[in-house]
Amino acid sequence: MDQRDEVRDFLSSRRARLSPTDVGLPAGTGRRRVAGLRRDEVAVLAGVSSEYYARLERGNLAGASDAVLDAIAAALRLDEAEQLHLRNLAHAANQSTRRRRTPTPRPAVHASMQRVLDAMTTVPAYVRDSHMDVVAGNALARELLSPVYRFARHTGTPPNSARHAFLDASARDYYPDWEQVTHDCVAALHGAAGHNPYDKPLSDLVGELSTRSEMFRTLWATHDVRLHRTGLKRLRHPEVGVLVLEYDVMELVQHPGLVLIAYSAAPGTPAADGLALLASLAATRGDAITAPGG
């Protein structure tokens, strides 16, 4: 992943989705030579010179002030996730060369966090890193995510939500809303890449998925980003059927880069009954479902 290319493609793709009438500019007459807004129109809306905006869109965000970034975000009608992505790209552009080349260590949770997860016996909960690797989880989460763990064992790789969604043929059955899930995976990885485009393991994962999945290549080219905080997810578990679960995502302050994801269901619902059955299966099997090497 090249940081300047990411800046260029992100800004140009956001510009291409807007028409002059979307932002209160006259539509004009005749055929436009570019899709969406022209660079000079974005510059006018943001209150900067055309030359300066052209420099930014060529990938040079170094030195851009918060005020300029806010103006560009407003001109392009960026949502919250996209504004954060733009700021992360600008932050990365201002990192020193030494900082860029510093390897990113594989995160790990403290023993105390694992105890907290294990104590959550009625809620599937796991910890995921920015590469979408599952780095820790409780017994119920391992049971719920058993297809992800099985694919990881088969391939000899860490359990990874994105790798499973794109490369395991059975994922389309496990995720009834597979297309939405794949969009969400790519949006999360794009956000991570904007935060740290020099993360080699992340670059390797993106390269692997780009090589092996046409769907991933297509979605990666959209440059969409999204914040994942809470919502609904449908999973078709091979033993208990379809579960419609609520999920909540919480950042772990003591573990930068890691998030805790917990699934739940309202009492008395079919999903709650399904989780109770999964909890029984997990208690019976113990630690039979594990990641490679652990």
Distances (CA, A) of 97 to 93, 94, 105: 10, 9, 18
Q: 171: domain CATH number?
A: 3.30.450.180
The answer to whether residue 149 is domain-embedded is yes
Digit-by-digit pLDDT tens for the chain (294 residues) are 678 889 999 999 999 999 888 888 877 655 667 778 999 999 999 999 999 999 999 999 999 999 999 999 999 999 999 999 999 999 988 875 445 555 556 667 889 999 999 999 899 999 999 999 999 999 999 999 999 999 999 999 999 999 999 999 999 999 999 999 999 999 999 999 988 888 889 999 999 999 999 999 999 999 999 988 999 999 999 999 999 999 999 999 888 889 999 999 999 999 999 999 999 988 887 654 444 434
* 159 and 249, same domain (yes or no): yes
| pLDDT of the residue at 35 | 72
C-beta of residue 144 within 8 angstroms of C-beta of residue 278: yes
* 64 and 201, same domain (yes or no): no
The answer to whether residue 33 is domain-embedded is yes
| pLDDT of the residue at 288 | 47
* 273 and 189, same domain (yes or no): yes
The answer to whether residue 43 is domain-embedded is yes
Token pair of 38, please? 């022209």
* 139 and 252, same domain (yes or no): yes
* 80 and 121, same domain (yes or no): no
Last residue of a domain, one of 63, 94, 125: 94
* 264 and 175, same domain (yes or no): yes
* 243 and 172, same domain (yes or no): yes
**According to the 3-state scheme, what is the secondary structure of the chain?**
CCHHHHHHHHHHHHHHCCCHHHHCCCCCCCCCCCCCCCHHHHHHHHCCCHHHHHHHHCCCCCCCCHHHHHHHHHHCCCCHHHHHHHHHHHHHHCCCHHHHHCCCCCCCCCHHHHHHHHHCCCCCEEEECCCCEEEEECHHHHHHCHHHHHHHHHHCCCCEHHHHHHHCCCHHHHCCCHHHHHHHHHHHHHHHHHHCCCCHHHHHHHHHHHHHCHHHHHHHCCCCCCCCCEEEEEEEECCCEEEEEEEEEEECCCCCCCEEEEEECCCCCHHHHHHHHHHHHHHHHCCCCCCCCC
Q: What domain count does the chain have?
A: 2
* 203 and 236, same domain (yes or no): yes
- Which residue range forms the structural domain that includes residue 18? 3-94
* 143 and 261, same domain (yes or no): yes
* 255 and 115, same domain (yes or no): yes
| pLDDT of the residue at 101 | 54
The residue with tokens 């679960």 is 245
* 252 and 149, same domain (yes or no): yes
C-beta of residue 226 within 8 angstroms of C-beta of residue 188: yes
Last residue of a domain, one of 67, 94, 121: 94
Strands 125-128 and 134-137: antiparallel
* 199 and 70, same domain (yes or no): no
